[in-house]
Structure 1
C-alpha cells in the first residue's frame, strides 16, 4: 500500500513563499488585503503545491453571476441570451442572484466571493485564474459558462465548437467548395478556437481536401473589426477562397463589409458561414443576405449552467466535467453552389 500524500498546510506555503502565515491566510481568504505581487506569488505556490481546504458553507439561497463587464452581461452579442436563460431558471427555482463585474481588472475580487455571500458562482466568459482559485479555496462551487480556461479543473459548459465547425464546413463542401478559408477569433491555442479549428480540419480531411495555410487567418473576438484586415488578406490572395468560415457571426459580418466594398456579391462570388446565430441591431445594415450560421441555443445553455451548478452544490465531490451545448446548422442565404 502506497504512502498517503502529506497534506499541504498554510504553514508550508508560508515557508516556501518566504512570507508570514497570516499573509498566506489573507491571500487565500481576503485577497484584497494583500499586495498584488505577493498575492500572485502565494496563489501560484498554493496551486503548485496542490493546497486545498474543506469548508462547510451554510446555504444562503444566493447564486453569483460574474463577468468581466456589465455590458457583456446585459448586451453582449453572445451572452445576453445566456443571461436571460440563467435568470429565468433561477427565478423558477426561487433563488436569488447577485451580479458583479470585475471590470476587466484581474486584481479585483468580488465581495460575493471574499465574504462568502453565495452558494455557488457562474463565471461568464474569460475569468481570472486567481479569482477562480479563491472561490475554490473558499469551497464555493463554480461553473465556467461559455469559455474554458486551459489547465483549470472546473465544471464548464460551452457550445459544441467541433461539431459546429464540422457542420459549417461540411455544408460548404456539399455545395462543391474546395477552397475554404477560416477566420478565427482568438490565438490558435485558445480552447474555443482550437475546437472550431479542429472541426474545420476534420471536415476538410474527411473530404480529402488539403488544408492551405494561407487560408487560415486570425482576428479577435473582442475586436471584431480585426476581421476586416483578415478578410482583405484572403481576398487579395492570388488564388482567393470561394468560401469563408468565420468562427463567430460578429467576424462574419465584418467579412461581409469587406466583400461588399470590393464589389463582390454574397453568395454569388463567395459564400460565407458564421457561428453563434446572433442578432444585433448594429449589424442590421450588414446582415444582407441572411447569414448561414451555426445556431446555439444560448438561453438553454444558460438554464443548463444553473442545473449543473445546483448539481455540484448538492454533490461537491463530483469530478470536474466539460459539458457541450448541442449546435445545429442554420442554412440561410449566404451560401450557394460553386
Structure 2
C-alpha cells in the first residue's frame, strides 16, 4: 500500500488539510509546521501522484515543445533544459518536430495535441502573426525564437540585430574588412532576415561597404550548406577575410571547406557563428560564437507557460529579450581564458 496524506498527517500530528496545503501549495503554512510535515514525508517515503493531482485540476500534466529542427544541436540542448525545468514543476514535456513545415506548424498550433496538452512552447518558422492571431485553441502558448512578433502571447527571444552587431564588431576589432555572411534567407525565416539586417547595419556603422557577392543565401541551415557556400566564397576574385555565419552548424561546415582549401583559420579567414553548441567547443579550430543564454530561454519559457496554465500569472503577455555574449575561441584568434 502506498503512503497516503492521512498517514503523513498522523505522523506529523497535523490535520489532513494542513498536509494537503503543504504538498499542493494551496495556502501558506507556518515554517515550523511545514518542516514537521516535510519530515513526515521524508520518513514515510511519500511519492506524490502527479497524474491524479493534474486530473483533479482538469489537466493532463503534459506540455509540448515544438521545434523546427530536431537534429539541430541548439534545439536539442534547449529541449534538455526545458525537460528538466518542466519536471521541476511536476509536468512532463513532450517533443514535437515540425521540420519547419508550414502545414505541420499550422496543425500543431490549432489541431494536433490540443486535447492532450495543457500548454505549448512553440518555435515557429513558416507561419506568421496572422496565423497565430487566428488560433482558436484556448490552452496557453509561449513563443520562442524570432518567427512571430506582436501577438498576445508570452514571447522569448534574443535581439538578433544586436547579436549580429556584436559578431561584426569583433571581426572588425581583429582587423577584418571583407566580411561575408552565410545564411541569408531566401524564404521566410525571420531570424535570418534579422541577422542579415544586423550584418548590414554593422558594416555601415564601421564604414565598410556592403558587397552582395559576399552574402551567401541558403535554403537550409546546416553543415553542408556552410561547406558548399564557403567553397563558392573562396572562388571569388576577392574572397573574404572573415565569415559571419547564421548559426554554428553553418560555421562548422565553413571550417571544413577552409581546411580542405588549405586556408589557415584565423590567419587567412576568421569565422564566427551563433548558438554556442557543444560541437563548436571541440571543432578544430574551436569556434568563436555568439552564445544565447539557453538556460534562461528554456527555464523562462517553461515558467511562463506553467504560470499561465495554473493561473498564477494573469498579467498581459510579456516579450522578453534574453541576454547573449560573444565567446572568443581559436577561429578568430586567442581564445577567452
TM-score (structure 1 length as normaliser): 0.70
| Structure 2 unmatched runs, 5+ | 1-56
Alpha-carbon offset, residue 156 of structure 1:
2.4
Structure 2 counterpart of 1:65 = 64
Structure 2 CA distance for partners of 1:200 and 1:99, relative to 1, 3 Å: closer
Match of 1:331 among 305, 328, 333: 328
Matched, 1:80 2:76: yes
Structure 2 CA distance for partners of 1:65 and 1:275, relative to 1, 3 Å: same
Native 8 Å contact 1:102 1:108 kept in 2? no
Q: Let me know the Cα RMSD of the aligned residues.
A: 3.1
In structure 1, what is the Cα distance between the partners aligned to 2:85 and 2:124?
19
Residue deviations 1:206-254 (CA, integer Å, cap 9, x gap) = 2111211111111244443122221122111111111111110100011
Native 8 Å contact 1:185 1:221 kept in 2? no
Structure 2 counterpart of 1:279 = 278
Structure 2 counterpart of 1:248 = 247
Matched, 1:296 2:292: yes
SS of alignment partner, residue 64 of structure 2 = strand
Alpha-carbon offset, residue 133 of structure 1:
5.0
Native 8 Å contact 1:66 1:99 kept in 2? yes
Structure 2 counterpart of 1:91 = 87
Q: Counterparts in 2 of 1:1-338, with a 5 A limit?
A: 59-60=58-59, 62-67=61-66, 72=70, 76-101=72-97, 106=104, 108-109=107-108, 111-113=112-114, 115=115, 117-126=116-125, 136-149=135-148, 154-184=153-183, 186-187=185-186, 190-280=189-279, 287-313=283-309, 314=311, 315=313, 318-319=316-317, 321-336=318-333
Structure 1 counterpart of 2:45 = none
In structure 1, what is the Cα distance between the partners aligned to 2:128 and 2:232?
35
Native 8 Å contact 1:161 1:196 kept in 2? yes
SS of alignment partner, residue 316 of structure 2 = coil
| Structure 1 unmatched runs, 5+ | 1-57
SS of alignment partner, residue 291 of structure 2 = strand
In structure 1, what is the Cα distance between the partners aligned to 2:243 and 2:97?
35
Question: Which one has a bigger Cα radius of gyration?
Answer: 2
Alpha-carbon offset, residue 108 of structure 1:
4.9
Residue deviations 1:146-185 (CA, integer Å, cap 9, x gap) = 3423776543222332222111110011112111111115
In structure 2, what is the Cα distance between the partners aligned to 1:325 and 1:232?
34
Most deviating of 155-164 and 166-175: 155-164
Alpha-carbon offset, residue 190 of structure 1:
2.6
In structure 1, what is the Cα distance between the partners aligned to 2:150 and 2:316?
18
In structure 1, what is the Cα distance between the partners aligned to 2:158 and 2:190?
11
Most deviating of 164-173 and 216-225: 216-225
Native 8 Å contact 2:125 2:188 kept in 1? no
Native 8 Å contact 1:185 1:248 kept in 2? no
TM-score (structure 2 length as normaliser): 0.70
Structure 2 CA distance for partners of 1:266 and 1:145, relative to 1, 3 Å: same
SS of alignment partner, residue 78 of structure 1 = helix
